[in-house]
C-alpha cells in the first residue's frame, strides 16, 4: 500500500478525532498535492455533515404537525356542515315542488273534441249517425271537468267483459 493510500484510509478517522497523524504522515500530507486536495475534500465533507447533523427542533415539529391537523379537522367539519346544509335545502325544495299525490287511476283528462284525433280502426266503417249515437251514449258518463271515468271490472256486464277480452287478444 502506498503512503497516499494509507493516508486516504486514515483521513476520516483523523478528521473525527478518532486517530492522529504521525510525523511521517504529516510530512507527506504537506508535501503531496493529491493528499492535500483529498484532505481538504474530507474536511469540507465533514463540515457539511456536521451542519446537516443538526436535526429539526422536536418541539417545533410537534407544533407544526398539531397546527396542520387542526386545520384539516376544521376543513372537514366545514365540508360535513356544508353537505348537511345542502341535503337539507334539497329536501326542502323537494317538499315545496312535489305536487302532493299522484293522479287517480282511471281518471284521464280529455282535450276539446276538435283538437284530438285518434285513429281507431274499429270506428272507420261506422257511419256518422251511428257515431253520433255512440257519442251521445258516452255523453252521460263524461263529467263536467272533462275527465272520463273508466268503469271497474265489477261494473261491466258479461258481454262487455267478453268484448274486452276479444279486443285484447286481437
Give the tens place of pLDDT for each residue, 69-85.
Answer: 778 777 777 777 878 88
Of 138, 140, 168, 142, the residue nearest 153 (C-alpha): 168
Going by the DSSP 8-state scheme, the letter that residue 97 receives in this structure is: H
Question: Would you state the pLDDT for residue 46?
Answer: 77
Specify which residues 109 forms β-bridges with.
Answer: 147
Question: Would you state the pLDDT for residue 31?
Answer: 92
Q: Name the pTM for this structure.
A: 0.32
Of 53 and 7, the one with more pLDDT: 7
Give the mean pLDDT of the chain: 75
Distance, in Å, from the CA atom of 28 to the CA atom of 4, rounded to the nearest integer, reads 8
Question: Would you state the pLDDT for residue 130?
Answer: 77
Question: Would you state the pLDDT for residue 143?
Answer: 47
| pLDDT > 90: percent of the chain | 5
pLDDT-derived band at 24 (thresholds 50, 70, 90) equals: very high
pLDDT-derived band at 164 (thresholds 50, 70, 90) equals: confident
Which runs of consecutive H residues, i.e. helices, occur in the chain?
3-15, 23-31, 33-52, 58-97, 128-139, 158-169
Query: Residue 62 — φ and ψ, nearest 5°?
Result: -60, -40
Question: Would you state the pLDDT for residue 113?
Answer: 46
| pLDDT > 70: percent of the chain | 71
Of 12, 27, 16, 137, the residue nearest 3 (C-alpha): 27
Is residue 58 scored above 70 in pLDDT? yes
Do 148 and 108 contact (CB within 8 A), yes or no? yes
The model's pLDDT over 106-151, given as tens digits with 9 standing for 90+, comes to 555 555 445 556 666 676 777 778 777 777 776 655 545 555 566 6
Query: Residue 147 — φ and ψ, nearest 5°?
Result: -110, 150
Of 57, 124, 35, 65, the residue nearest 14 (C-alpha): 35
Identify which of 24-28, 47-51, 163-167 has the greatest average pLDDT: 24-28
Do 128 and 167 contact (CB within 8 A), yes or no? no
Amino acid at each position: 500500500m502506498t503512503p497516499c493510500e494509507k493516508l486516504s484510509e486514515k483521513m476520516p478517522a483523523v478528521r473525527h478525532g478518532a486517530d492522529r497523524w504521525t510525523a511521517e504522515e504529516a510530512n507527506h500530507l504537506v508535501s503531496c498535492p493529491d493528499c492535500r486536495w483529498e484532505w481538504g475534500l474530507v474536511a469540507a465533507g465533514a463540515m457539511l455533515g456536521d451542519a446537516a447533523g443538526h436535526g429539526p427542533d422536536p418541539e417545533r415539529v410537534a407544533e407544526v404537525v398539531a397546527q396542520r391537523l387542526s386545520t384539516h379537522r376544521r376543513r372537514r367539519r366545514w365540508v360535513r356542515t356544508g353537505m348537511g346544509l345542502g341535503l337539507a335545502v334539497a329536501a326542502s325544495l323537494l317538499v315545496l315542488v312535489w305536487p302532493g299525490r299522484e293522479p287517480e287511476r282511471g281518471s284521464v283528462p280529455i282535450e276539446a273534441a276538435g283538437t284530438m284525433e285518434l285513429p281507431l280502426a274499429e270506428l272507420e266503417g261506422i257511419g256518422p249517425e251511428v257515431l253520433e249515437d255512440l257519442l251521445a251514449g258516452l255523453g252521460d258518463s263524461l263529467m263536467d271537468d272533462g275527465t272520463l271515468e273508466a268503469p271497474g271490472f265489477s261494473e261491466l256486464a258479461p258481454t262487455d267483459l267478453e268484448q274486452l277480452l276479444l279486443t285484447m287478444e286481437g
